[in-house]
């Protein structure tokens, strides 16, 4: 048994890794920009950059040496001049049949490159420029202007006396569009950094411009950052509550289990008991009446049960408290609603299993040997029906930890279901991602538990 469990655990590793990869794809690739989705599109680029940096979204996805930065948005000038709209003296030309959209920088002037915010210190950046220069010269200038009170550490002599450090990258004259890469360092004090472009003797035309930030290494990526978070059991920080997600999960799992566990066990015992009753009185008035009631329970919407229970049992008759999580009495009404709303479907499912077993040969043999009907039901039918019952039960167990979304919201229970709804409403990416990931891993573990339970209840299943 132990050897089988260890082997199955090792077999689960690729599955768990696949779950991690799928959640990474769903939240880091398919969903678009998590920062814009959470903070909104009207937030400053610096706030978006800080959000991305805290969660690793400012890195390449899988592998890469350079990554984008919101200090300068990628510009192809297809519709307008982009961030160059506010720069005086820049002329914008819309796309034509054979010419891409571009901006023109007139000669004899320094143009400040329009950054949205200051760059990070001691980081290497790179301009990727597609340009055309028919005549004259053009130069990208990187100037660090040091003041005596600057603590740069990089240029102590210049900082003590006051001065500047200049780097110039000249652009060659060309009649066709040409792409170049211009690296530079932000320096120890980015506030002293001035980035300008200057042309002489001819206009510089730019049809594409983007800024890239150099990463620590090729594996400084979003996926590696995500794996390291999971290894540390660090699920990030909630943007809505400003709390660690791991702490929020610890605080919410208790109220959720207090609600879902009683619903699960009471519903299971009652549904199986009623299904055995149907098998005992099969094809009689009792059996048909139970089926009719089960179908009626299935036909009523879950939300109707909640509204009816709150209004009639809680508000009108005052049998139960309506809101909060102060004692066990606050759980009575939501547990009752949860059991009643799910009872119909479970009774129909378990009844079908029991009746299917009742018509098998071993049941006829037991009756022929004189075994009583209760003895056949509990010693033979119930035991042989445990395989489909276990399959249904164990698969439900992983979802107990997420709580009941509607019940927690309507009754003010501070569980994971309530937290999940709030995270969806406020686009709290870290919370949603953590709940989905943990639920998926628990589902994989539940499949292992199902196999073990099969061997425990069915002697025909062997573990080898």
pLDDT digits (tens, 9 = 90+) for 12-22: 788 888 888 88
Instruction: Supply 86's token pair.
Output: 């506010």
DSSP, res 158? H
- Sign of the Cα pseudo-torsion (274, 275, 280, 286, in order): positive
CA dist 306 → 81, 87, 236, 312, 341 (Å): 55, 60, 34, 10, 9
Instruction: Supply 242's token pair.
Output: 């400003």
- Sign of the Cα pseudo-torsion (416, 419, 421, 423, in order): negative
Q: Do 87 and 114 meet the contact criterion of CB atoms below 8 Å apart?
A: yes
In angstroms, the CA 246 to CA 387 distance is: 36
Instruction: Supply 225's token pair.
Output: 């950052």
DSSP, res 75? B
In angstroms, the CA 412 to CA 259 distance is: 12
In angstroms, the CA 257 to CA 364 distance is: 42
Look up the pTM and report it: 0.76
Q: Do 72 and 116 meet the contact criterion of CB atoms below 8 Å apart?
A: yes
User: DSSP readout, 55-82?
Assistant: HTTTS-SSS-SEEE-TTS--B--SSS-G
pLDDT value of residue 160: 38
In angstroms, the CA 376 to CA 159 distance is: 93
pLDDT value of residue 150: 47
In angstroms, the CA 77 to CA 95 distance is: 8
Whose tokens are 């240029």? That residue is: 155
Residue 264 phi, psi dihedral angles, 5° rounding: -65, -50
In angstroms, the CA 371 to CA 71 distance is: 81
With CA atoms as reference, report the closest residue to 362 among 345, 348, 380: 380
In angstroms, the CA 202 to CA 134 distance is: 7
pLDDT value of residue 157: 43
Give the chain's domains with CATH numbers: 82-214 (2.60.120.260), 245-457 (1.10.3720.10)
With CA atoms as reference, report the closest residue to 45 among 55, 58, 62, 29: 58
pLDDT in tens, the chain (464 residues): 677 677 777 777 888 888 888 888 888 777 677 888 788 778 889 999 998 888 888 899 888 899 999 999 899 998 889 899 888 889 999 998 888 999 999 998 889 999 999 898 889 999 999 999 988 889 998 887 655 554 444 444 444 334 456 788 888 888 889 999 999 888 877 777 888 999 888 899 999 999 999 998 999 999 999 899 888 888 888 888 888 999 999 998 889 889 888 998 999 999 988 988 888 888 889 889 999 999 998 888 888 888 999 999 988 888 888 888 888 899 999 999 999 988 988 899 888 888 888 878 888 888 888 888 778 887 778 877 877 888 888 778 777 776 678 888 889 899 888 888 888 888 888 888 888 888 888 888 887 777 777 777 766 666 65
- Sign of the Cα pseudo-torsion (76, 77, 80, 82, in order): positive
């Amino acid at each position: 048994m132990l050897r089988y469990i260890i082997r199955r655990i090792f077999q689960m590793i690729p599955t768990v890794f696949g779950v991690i990869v799928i959640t990474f794809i769903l939240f880091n690739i398919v969903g678009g920009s998590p920062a814009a989705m959470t903070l909104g599109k009207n937030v400053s680029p610096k706030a978006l950059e800080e959000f991305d940096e805290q969660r690793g979204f400012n890195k390449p996805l899988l592998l890469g040496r350079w990554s984008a930065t919101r200090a300068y948005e990628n510009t192809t000038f297809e519709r307008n001049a982009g961030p160059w709209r506010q720069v005086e003296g820049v002329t914008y030309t819309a796309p034509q049949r054979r010419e891409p959209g571009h901006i023109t920088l007139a000669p004899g002037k320094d143009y400040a490159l329009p950054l949205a915010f200051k760059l990070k210190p001691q980081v290497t950046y790179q301009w990727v420029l597609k340009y055309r220069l028919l005549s004259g010269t053009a130069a990208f200038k990187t100037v660090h202007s040091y003041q005596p009170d600057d603590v740069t550490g990089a240029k102590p002599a210049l900082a003590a006396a006051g001065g500047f450090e200049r780097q110039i990258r000249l652009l060659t004259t060309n009649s066709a569009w040409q792409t170049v890469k211009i690296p530079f360092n932000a320096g120890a004090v980015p506030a002293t950094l001035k980035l300008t472009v200057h042309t002489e003797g001819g206009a510089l035309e730019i049809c594409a411009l983007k800024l890239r930030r150099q990463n620590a290494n090729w594996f400084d990526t979003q996926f590696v950052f995500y794996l390291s978070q999971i290894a540390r059991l660090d699920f990030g920080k909630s943007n809505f509550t400003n709390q660690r997600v791991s702490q929020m999960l610890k605080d919410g799992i208790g109220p959720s289990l207090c609600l879902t566990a009683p619903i699960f066990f009471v519903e299971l015992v009652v549904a199986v008991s009623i299904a055995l009753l149907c098998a005992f009185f099969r094809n009689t008035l009792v059996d048909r009446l139970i089926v009719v009631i089960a179908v009626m329970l299935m036909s009523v919407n879950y939300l109707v049960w909640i509204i009816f229970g709150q209004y009639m049992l809680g508000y009108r008759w005052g049998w139960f408290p309506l809101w909060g999580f102060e004692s066990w009495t606050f759980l009575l009404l939501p547990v009752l609603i949860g059991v009643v709303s799910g009872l119909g479907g479970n009774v129909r499912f378990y009844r079908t299993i029991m009746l299917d077993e009742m018509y098998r040969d071993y049941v006829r043999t037991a009756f022929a040997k004189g075994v009583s009907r209760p003895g056949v039901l509990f010693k033979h039918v119930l035991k042989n029906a445990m395989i489909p019952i276990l399959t249904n039960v164990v698969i439900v167990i992983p979802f107990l930890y997420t709580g009941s979304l509607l019940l927690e919201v309507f009754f003010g229970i501070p569980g994971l279901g309530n937290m999940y709804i709030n995270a969806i409403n406020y686009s709290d990416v870290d919370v949603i991602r953590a709940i989905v990931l943990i639920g998926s891993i628990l589902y994989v573990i539940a499949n292992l538990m199902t196999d073990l339970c099969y061997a425990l209840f069915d002697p025909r299943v062997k573990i080898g």
